[in-house]
Amino acid sequence: MTEKLLGIYPVSTEAQIKKACEYFGENYSYFNHSDRVDYARQLSPLVKEAGLELPSSVGRYSGPPRESFEAGYQIRKKYTHERFHGLLDELHKQAHYIPADEAAYALDDFDHKAGIANLGGRIPDAHQTFFYNEKTAGAEMPDDVWSGSTDRLRRSDLENWVASVEYYELMKKSFPIDLVQSMRGNPWPIFSSLPDPHKRIIARMCNDKTYGQHPQGQSTYDYDGAVDKSQLHRPANQMKIELDHLHNTKARLVDALNRM
């Protein structure tokens, strides 16, 4: 058994394993990318051996590689200035020839340089771009259906829909053209790699056309009482305000921890 995670955190007993899970859940955002992944991958098998439930925070960084990482790059173009697009394209090309871990580390570095490292659910983080969440991989990876909190989507329905004219006309209003075109060539793996808010929009649009399920008078982009389109697309000045707030909040937390 590993005695210490990262050579620092003791995990020789069940109590220590539980404590390590709690600590990671509360503090993983303060770990650098490499330590965050190594900690989770070392802790995951110990949690299973102890017969404990795998925490979501650990599963998020200990899952298997994805079939496709295209969507993660394409979505980033929506949230970055054009001056970063050349570097993003180069990293995208490199990702096809280097190990997934190396590509994820490079993408994480890009996110910090481009100021999008704290956008939460609006983009998959660097690791999520290349790897499944171990805790939910069994639900994400099957070939037949995706189930979210409010919507479901069958693979066959998506694959039929992406060949339609309606698909292109609806999708281009909400997503980058590169993503729209890529999904036509490889729909299910790319769909599976998207963050849940994006999956819900696509599932709702596809099901509306396939089954006519959308409530009359409700916005195409509305779910759970919120308008998806407004959540995914923010004016540049509003996004800057949000990012500044996130960065300042994190800085205050780090300062407080350092004073403890």
Give the H/E segment covering residue 10: strand 9-10
Q: Is 65 inside a domain boundary?
A: no
Q: Is 249 inside a domain boundary?
A: no
> Comparing C-alpha atoms, which of 60, 68, 58, 206 is closest to residue 198?
206
- What is the separation, in whole angstroms, between the first and last Cα of the chain? 32
Write out pLDDT tens, residues 80-129: 888 999 999 999 999 999 999 999 999 999 999 998 887 766 788 899 88
State residue 90's pLDDT score.
94
CA distance 229 to 171: 11
Write out pLDDT tens, residues 146-160: 877 778 888 888 888
Tell me: do 81 and 49 sit in the same domain: no
Q: Within the chain, how many helices (H) and strands (E) appear?
A: 15, 6
Tell me: do 86 and 28 sit in the same domain: no
Q: Is 212 inside a domain boundary?
A: yes
Q: Is 248 inside a domain boundary?
A: no
pLDDT in tens, the chain (260 residues): 457 888 888 898 999 999 999 999 999 988 999 999 999 999 999 999 999 999 989 998 998 888 788 888 888 888 888 899 999 999 999 999 999 999 999 999 999 999 888 776 678 889 988 998 887 766 555 557 787 777 888 888 888 898 887 888 888 888 888 888 888 877 888 888 888 888 888 999 888 865 554 443 344 434 343 334 434 444 444 544 544 554 554 455 445 444 54
Which structural domain, as residue segments, surrounds residue 126? 70-130
CA distance 103 to 90: 11
Output the CA–CA distances (angstroms, integers) from residue 168 to 154, 157, 183, 229, 239, in the order listed. Answer: 19, 15, 10, 16, 27
Q: Is 166 inside a domain boundary?
A: yes
Q: What is the mean pLDDT of the chain?
A: 78
Tell me: do 164 and 89 sit in the same domain: no
Q: Is 243 inside a domain boundary?
A: no
CA distance 114 to 81: 8
Q: What is the pTM of this model?
A: 0.60
When divided into structural domains, the chain yields a total of 3
In this structure, what are the phi and psi dihedrals at residue 119, rounded to the nearest 5 degrees? Answer: -85, 0
Q: Is 238 inside a domain boundary?
A: no
